[in-house]
């Protein structure tokens, strides 16, 4: 087990594309860490650079106090699960799981015993002599996991481990993966473009954009207090309301309504300043009667989320969303008021969070 430390890590592809720009990141021992970002943000490049499949242009990668920047992938003592699992199609499950041990010159009997043990732990006992082509997606994923477990590496790297599974299986696999990581206690970095996946599984996460880390924190921190409007817009299954506003005296003028300054930005705003007011639909209470400190408008769209509805209000030509619990759904065309929670609303200045 080992911590992973990246110092000033830079990767420039031939042609001048800066995939990683002087990244600093410390992932403590045993942590389940998510790299989240839209496609092309450099998250997979970062993972591959940790694995050694890409050579860093600058900076260093330290795994367990050992600088491995110039070390070949095989010498870094990490194991990786690829997006397509990369199970060898010509080998059966046993041989696939035992392959890392074969490279380490472990005797055949010993490595088959180890494969059987790890396979049994992941519920693969009855599939050990099948070929990958004869397995379902979920089974293939477990074989890939068994294979990295057999390596007993210092750290695991998962590249979009769930993206090849269908939606239903993905939720099961998510729980399974989190439980497995907790039991093994191996430092694990995984890449995903699905914010829900990162929020659900990770102990901590980094949100990336264009080769930069825009925020590092626990899922709760990243969800409740996005450090900038990029993260605010990217995180959350319903996007955050980001509304242009102006500071007027002690209040904020947003979409023609007067709102109190959120707790987090208290005393940090100057009069007349242009800001962006951010509040998640989940933190907007909905009222069908006129309310104080609220954004009032006409209901234009209702979206069913299952146990609740997402209401979209037209507030003086600005769209504002709020969540309404079951049984209290307004009708389209009605007047409604979204009341932001003062302790959850946020203020952004020049795209960055205003906070003490």
- Restricting to residues 284-323, name those near other proteins by CB under 8 A: none
Which lies closer to other proteins via its Cβ, residue 89 or residue 272?
A: 89
Candidate segments 50-58, 115-123, 233-241, 306-314, binder of other proteins by CB under 8 A: 50-58
Which lies closer to other proteins via its Cβ, residue 74 or residue 185?
A: 74
Q: Shortest distance, CB of residue 135 to other proteins, whole angstroms?
A: 8
Tokens (6 digits) for 353: 């969070």
Nearest to 355 by CA among 235, 215, 236, 240: 215
Nearest to 46 by CA among 66, 27, 23: 23
Q: Is-contact 173 194, C-beta < 8 A?
A: no
Q: Is-contact 207 214, C-beta < 8 A?
A: yes
Q: Shortest distance, CB of residue 91 to other proteins, whole angstroms?
A: 8
Candidate segments 97-105, 198-206, 262-270, 346-354, binder of other proteins by CB under 8 A: 97-105
Q: Which of 1, 17, 26, 103 binds other proteins (CB under 8 A)?
A: 103
Q: Which of 19, 78, 173, 338 binds other proteins (CB under 8 A)?
A: 78
Contacts of 168-171 with C-beta under 8 Å, sequence gap 24+, read 169/137, 169/138, 170/197
Q: Where are any strands of DSSP class E within 32-173?
A: 32-36, 58-63, 66-67, 78-81, 155-159
Tokens (6 digits) for 171: 């939720």
Q: Which of 26, 126, 134, 248 binds other proteins (CB under 8 A)?
A: 134
Candidate segments 80-88, 111-119, 243-251, 345-353, binder of other proteins by CB under 8 A: 80-88
Establish if 168 lies at the interface with other proteins (CB under 8 A): no
Sheet harboring 308-315: ordered strands across? 284-287, 335-340, 295-304, 308-315, 318-325
Tokens (6 digits) for 355: 């906070």
Which lies closer to other proteins via its Cβ, residue 184 or residue 269?
A: 184
Candidate segments 107-115, 128-136, 305-313, 326-334, binder of other proteins by CB under 8 A: 128-136
Q: Which of 19, 27, 51, 295 binds other proteins (CB under 8 A)?
A: 51
Which lies closer to other proteins via its Cβ, residue 80 or residue 208?
A: 80
Task: Determine the Cα angle at 45 with ends 59 and 31, to 5°.
Answer: 80
Residues that bind other proteins (CB under 8 A): 51-53, 72-75, 78-80, 82-90, 99-100, 102-104, 131-135, 137, 140, 151, 164
């Amino acid at each position: 087990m080992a911590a992973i430390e990246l110092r000033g890590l830079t990767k420039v592809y031939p042609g001048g594309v800066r995939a990683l720009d002087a990244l600093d990141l410390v992932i403590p021992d045993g942590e389940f860490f998510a790299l989240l970002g839209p496609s092309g943000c450099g998250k997979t490049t970062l993972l591959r650079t940790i694995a050694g499949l890409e050579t860093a242009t600058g900076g260093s990668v330290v795994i367990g106090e050992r600088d491995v920047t110039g070390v070949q992938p095989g010498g870094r003592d990490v194991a990786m699960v690829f997006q397509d699992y990369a199970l060898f199609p010509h080998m059966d499950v046993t041989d696939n799981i035992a392959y890392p041990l074969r490279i380490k010159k472990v005797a055949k009997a010993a490595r088959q015993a180890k494969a059987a043990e790890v396979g049994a732990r992941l519920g693969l006992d009855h599939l050990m002599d099948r070929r990958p082509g004869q397995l379902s997606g979920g089974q293939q994923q477990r074989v890939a996991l068994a294979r990295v477990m057999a390596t007993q590496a210092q750290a695991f790297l998962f590249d979009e481990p769930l993206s090849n599974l269908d939606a239903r299986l993905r939720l099961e696999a998510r729980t399974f993966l989190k439980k497995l990581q907790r039991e093994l206690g191996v430092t694990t970095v995984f890449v995903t473009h699905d914010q829900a996946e990162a929020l659900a599984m990770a102990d901590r996460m980094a949100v990336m954009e264009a080769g930069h880390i825009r925020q590092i924190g626990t899922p709760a921190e990243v969800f409740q207090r996005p450090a900038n409007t990029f993260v605010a817009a990217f995180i959350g299954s319903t996007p955050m309301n980001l509304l242009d506003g102006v500071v007027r005296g002690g209040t904020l003028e947003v979409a023609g309504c007067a709102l109190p300054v959120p707790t987090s930005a208290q005393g940090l705003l100057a009069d007349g300043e242009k800001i962006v007011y951010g509040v998640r639909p989940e933190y907007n209470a909905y009222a069908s009667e006129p309310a104080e400190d609220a954004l009032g408008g006409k209901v234009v769209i209702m979206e069913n989320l299952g146990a609740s509805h997402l209401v979209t209000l037209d507030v003086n030509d600005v769209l504002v969303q709020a969540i309404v619990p079951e049984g209290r759904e307004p009708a389209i065309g009605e007047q409604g008021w979204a009341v932001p929670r003062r302790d959850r609303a946020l203020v952004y200045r020049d795209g960055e969070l205003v906070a003490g």
